Structure 1
Amino acid sequence: MSTDFQQARVALGARLRELRAGITGRDLAERLGWPQSKVSKLETGRQTATAADLTAWAEATGHPDVADELTARLRVLESGARSWRRRLAAGHRPVQDSLTVEYQRSYRMRAWQPAMVVGMLQTPEYARAVFSRYVDLQQSVRDIDDAVRARMRRQEELYDPSRHFDIVLWEAALHAMVCPPDVLAGQLDRLCGVVGMTNVRLGILPFGAQLRIPPANGFWMYDERLVIVEDWHAELWLDDAENVALYTRLWDTVTGPAVYGAQAHRLIARARAQLDLS
């Protein structure tokens, strides 16, 4: 969990504790019908409140007028870290739709992905395999077909000449068996075709490259206004100038040794040839 996110959650908890002045934690829990431990966790920043929690807290402490203030604090907090538990409450399809909005607002997009093929270049079969694994991990709504269709529709942006995509994969992504071998073969064939696209610059960071920094989480940069980083527990949406500048430097550092064009094509073809399709 990011330090900024945790600090914001602790600050929100302190505000909740301030509003509770004159009421014991046990009494407030009884008024709300909550376990007393929930009151304690919210006040100490060990649990993230929902908007409904905050409205109920404001009313139960006799401060209904501060409900809007509290929910505004929550929006600011969640703009930095958006937990998968909440993001996936209605399934993967709404998450895909929200990302499509960001693509449509942007003209230059940069992506680094060390572990798998980025969603923007996935085949339907590969995307279905990936979504299936994340549904199992997060125990979320199983709307895989809808999510795949939404992802495929977003790929129409690849053919808009006003947009440019810089995408770099670590070579490991070409070999990761997150799907059956025949599906991976189709995915690698798709990548070979992407190499020649006019507004997509696909690079591969070879295994043997001298790394300037250890490969870590994948991220997308949308123009110079937004960075989205995926972690296991949450997406980080970073739009402050300091973090955007950091990820710009990170992009230059991590992707510097990548190869493109014919060299990238050879690495993809080599991975394809190594698949056992028997």
Structure 2
Amino acid sequence: MSTDFQQAREALGTRLRELRLSRPGGRLTGDQLARQLGWHKSKVSKLENGKQTATAEDLQAWAQATGQPGAFDELRARLAGFESHIRSWRRQLAAGHRAVQDAHNEAQTNARVLRAWESSWVVGILQTPDYARAVLTRSAERHQSPRDIEDAVRSRMQRQQLLYGAGRRYHIIMWEGVLHALICSPAVLAAQLDRLTGIIGMDTVELGIVPFGASLKQPPGVGFWIYDDRQVVTETWHAELWVDDADSIATYLRVWKAMRDSAVYGADAHNVINAARRTLGTHR
């Protein structure tokens, strides 16, 4: 979790404490407030100390319980400010997966130089429909979110039109493990690998593969995108991070360049993909 995010969450907690202590009818203790709201008493402490992220509903209840309902707009604005950088999957996927895909479509449409590192699965911009369907289904299972899978797949496929337009350049690097990960059926993965071999040689895409035997300057770590060296998008199991501070972007750029130094391209990348494709014959 970023330092900026944590500082913003702690600042929100300080403001919540101020509201509790300045209640017009007299200050409330944390235990009193928890009982009034029907919360576990530890929740008040966690919110005030920046150990838990409040929901908009939490903030509205807090403002009402402390006799200062007019403070809700301020609290909600504070929450929106740092949630623009840390977007929890629970909230993003409350209405399904299509909206998340549309947000990524917009971000990539507005960028001209896009760099990606991925160690877990084929990046969305290069996925086949069946592979995308498998990945999004796994995500819906993991987050227990609405299953608008077909709408989400169509949105992800729409993004791929960006590959064929002038003025945009994709620099994509993937870990060889991506080529072997059976997060879908062997037949679907085989078709996906065939798709990757067809990408090599496109003038808008530079596709690199980091082989298992490559010397690494960095551990594989998590995947991420860098848009025009001004914004990074990465994800964890619980949230998606949209990072725009210069120091963090510089860190991700160093990692990406380290992975580029370990990657193979062109015919060598083609050979690594084809070798993975041949191993699928051993899976039934």
For residues 93 and 174 of structure 1, the distance between their equivalents in structure 2, rounded to whole angstroms, comes to 26
| Candidates 76, 97, 106, aligned match of 1:101 | 106
| Candidates 138, 142, 157, aligned match of 2:147 | 142
Q: Is the 8 A contact 2:86 2:242 kept in 1?
A: yes
| 1:193 and 2:198 matched | yes
**SS class of match (2:8):** helix
Residues 21-78 of structure 1 show CA distances to partners (whole Å, capped at 9, x for unaligned) of: 0122344345445444433332232321112322332233233333232122212221
TM-score scaled to structure 2, two decimals? 0.92
For residues 243 and 192 of structure 2, the distance between their equivalents in structure 1, rounded to whole angstroms, comes to 30
- The offset of 1:250, in angstroms, is 1.5
| 1:260 and 2:257 matched | no
| 1:151 and 2:137 matched | no
| Candidates 208, 212, 217, aligned match of 1:212 | 217
For residues 86 and 269 of structure 2, the distance between their equivalents in structure 1, rounded to whole angstroms, comes to 34
Superposed CA RMSD in Å reads: 1.7
State the match for 2:18 in structure 1: 18
The worse-fitting range, judged by mean Cα deviation, of 61-70 and 170-179 is 61-70
Q: What is the identity percentage for the equivalent residue pairs of Structure 1 and Structure 2?
A: 59
For residues 27 and 232 of structure 1, the distance between their equivalents in structure 2, rounded to whole angstroms, comes to 34
Q: Is the 8 A contact 2:173 2:259 kept in 1?
A: no
For residues 141 and 132 of structure 2, the distance between their equivalents in structure 1, rounded to whole angstroms, comes to 14
| 1:237 and 2:242 matched | yes
For residues 120 and 101 of structure 1, the distance between their equivalents in structure 2, rounded to whole angstroms, comes to 13
| Candidates 169, 172, 178, aligned match of 2:174 | 169
For residues 101 and 33 of structure 1, the distance between their equivalents in structure 2, rounded to whole angstroms, comes to 41
Q: Is the 8 A contact 2:126 2:160 kept in 1?
A: yes
- The offset of 1:87, in angstroms, is 1.4
Q: Which runs of 5+ in 2 are unaligned?
A: 22-26
State the match for 1:116 in structure 2: 121
Matched AA of 1:120: I
Matched AA of 1:17: R
TM-score scaled to structure 1, two decimals? 0.94
Matched AA of 1:198: D
**SS class of match (1:217):** coil
Residues 63-122 of structure 1 show CA distances to partners (whole Å, capped at 9, x for unaligned) of: 333323212221222123211111111111111111111011111111000121101100
| 1:65 and 2:108 matched | no
State the match for 2:57 in structure 1: 52
Q: Which runs of 5+ in 1 are unaligned?
A: none
| 1:128 and 2:106 matched | no
For residues 261 and 169 of structure 2, the distance between their equivalents in structure 1, rounded to whole angstroms, comes to 18
For residues 147 and 230 of structure 2, the distance between their equivalents in structure 1, rounded to whole angstroms, comes to 32
The worse-fitting range, judged by mean Cα deviation, of 154-163 and 26-35 is 26-35
For residues 35 and 119 of structure 1, the distance between their equivalents in structure 2, rounded to whole angstroms, comes to 41
Matched AA of 2:137: S
